């Protein structure tokens, strides 16, 4: 049903996880789950609350260490011990809370923790504000995002603009894999649309995207492939063009007929 050889066989997947298991005490949050994502592909991770989507994502982004399983990047096995490791491998995660410093402006956020400096008097490294502003403008233009003043603090931006800043930050640092946790939650209708457009334009640029979402509309409008999680296991995997939202919903809730398929 799923064409695993669509890249021509030899080409490894950008990211592939195999047999991931994560337990919290007696609870197995993720049980032997594997999936992959390719260049310019959007994979949606869906499932009910507590299905293990977030836990699986946090294993990939370095927040949790898995009890079992392997992670491969471009075909080679990698070890992700911390969020910084994941970022260094080009795996960027945008959490629901966006992790922006609301009291700082757009460039300061895009470059947060990785500020560019210049030498003052050839000696003291100071923050290169102009360069960061220029680069921020470039990355926002590339994504076709309009923010009136980059010098305004994040707290003065709308939800969609904040999401855009968070995405720009990931993209600027050459993310190969972008993980987005509920990117459209807490956004107005028109802003949801903009964020989804943004996801499509990122895909065109060849970035592999994993989206966690509850919204069937989002999933069907941007994803290429859907992975359904239920109670820690992978309940199913479907190509968007070969499935319906009814089928996905029944996979999510675990209706008998579909499960036996």
Q: Which segment (30-38, 114-122, 175-183, 187-195) binds another protein by CB under 8 A?
A: 114-122
Distance set, CA 14 to CA 68, 85, 122 (Å)? 20, 16, 41
For the CB of residue 216, give the shortest distance to another protein in the complex, in Å: 29
Size of the site for another protein (CB under 8 A): 25
> CB-wise, 84 or 239, nearer to another protein?
84
What x/- string results for residues 30 through 69 when contact with another protein is judged by CB under 8 A?
----------------------------------------
What does the alpha-carbon distance between residue 200 and residue 222 come to, in Å, rounded to a whole number? 6
Question: Concatenated DSSP letters for 47-101?
Answer: E-TTSSHHHHHHHHTTSS--SEEEEEETTEEE---SHHHHHHTTEEEE-TTTT--
Touching another protein, residues 70-89 (CB under 8 A): 83-84, 87
243-254 in b/e form (b: 16+ CB < 10 A) is beeebbebbbee
Q: Is 112 in the site for another protein (CB under 8 A)?
A: yes
Can you give the C-alpha Rg of the chain in angstroms? Answer: 19
For the CB of residue 244, give the shortest distance to another protein in the complex, in Å: 37
Q: Which segment (1-9, 73-81, 112-120, 235-243) binds another protein by CB under 8 A?
A: 112-120
Q: Is 134 in the site for another protein (CB under 8 A)?
A: no
Touching another protein, residues 154-193 (CB under 8 A): 155
Among 40, 74, 127, 233, contact with another protein (rule: CB under 8 A) = 127
Helix (H) or strand (E) holding 256: helix 256-259
Q: Is 117 in the site for another protein (CB under 8 A)?
A: yes
Among 3, 81, 97, 256, contact with another protein (rule: CB under 8 A) = 97
Among 2, 11, 68, 126, contact with another protein (rule: CB under 8 A) = 126
Q: Phi and psi of 50, rounded to 5°?
A: 80, 10
Q: Phi and psi of 185, rounded to 5°?
A: -65, 145
Strand order in the sheet with 208-212: 91-94, 177-181, 208-212, 42-47, 225-230, 233-239
Query: Which neighbouring-strand residues pair with 236?
Result: 228
Binding residues for another protein (CB under 8 A): 83-84, 87, 95, 97-104, 108, 112-115, 117, 120, 124-127, 153, 155
């Amino acid at each position: 049903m799923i064409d695993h050889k669509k890249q021509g066989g030899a080409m490894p997947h950008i990211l592939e996880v195999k047999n991931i298991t994560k337990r919290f005490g007696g609870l197995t949050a993720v049980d032997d789950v594997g999936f992959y994502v390719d260049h310019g592909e959007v994979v949606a991770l869906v499932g009910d609350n507590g299905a293990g989507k977030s836990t699986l994502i946090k294993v990939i982004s370095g927040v949790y260490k898995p009890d079992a399983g392997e992670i491969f990047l471009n075909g080679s096995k990698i070890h992700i011990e911390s969020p910084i490791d994941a970022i260094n491998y080009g795996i960027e995660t945008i959490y629901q809370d966006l992790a922006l410093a609301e009291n700082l402006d757009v460039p300061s956020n895009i470059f947060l923790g990785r500020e560019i400096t210049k030498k003052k008097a050839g000696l003291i490294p100071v923050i290169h504000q102009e360069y960061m502003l220029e680069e921020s403008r470039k990355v926002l233009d590339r994504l076709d995002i309009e923010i009136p003043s980059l010098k305004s603090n994040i707290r003065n931006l709308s939800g969609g603009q904040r999401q855009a800043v968070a995405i720009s930050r990931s993209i600027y640092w050459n993310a190969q894999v972008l993980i987005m946790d509920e990117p459209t939650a807490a956004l107005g209708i028109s802003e949801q649309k903009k964020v989804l457009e943004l996801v499509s334009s990122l895909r065109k640029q060849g970035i592999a995207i994993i989206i966690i979402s509850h919204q069937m509309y989002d999933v069907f409008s941007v994803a290429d492939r859907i992975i359904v999680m239920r109670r820690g296991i992978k309940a199913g995997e479907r190509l968007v063009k070969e499935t319906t939202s009814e089928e996905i919903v029944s996979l999510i809730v675990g209706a008998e007929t579909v499960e036996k398929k």
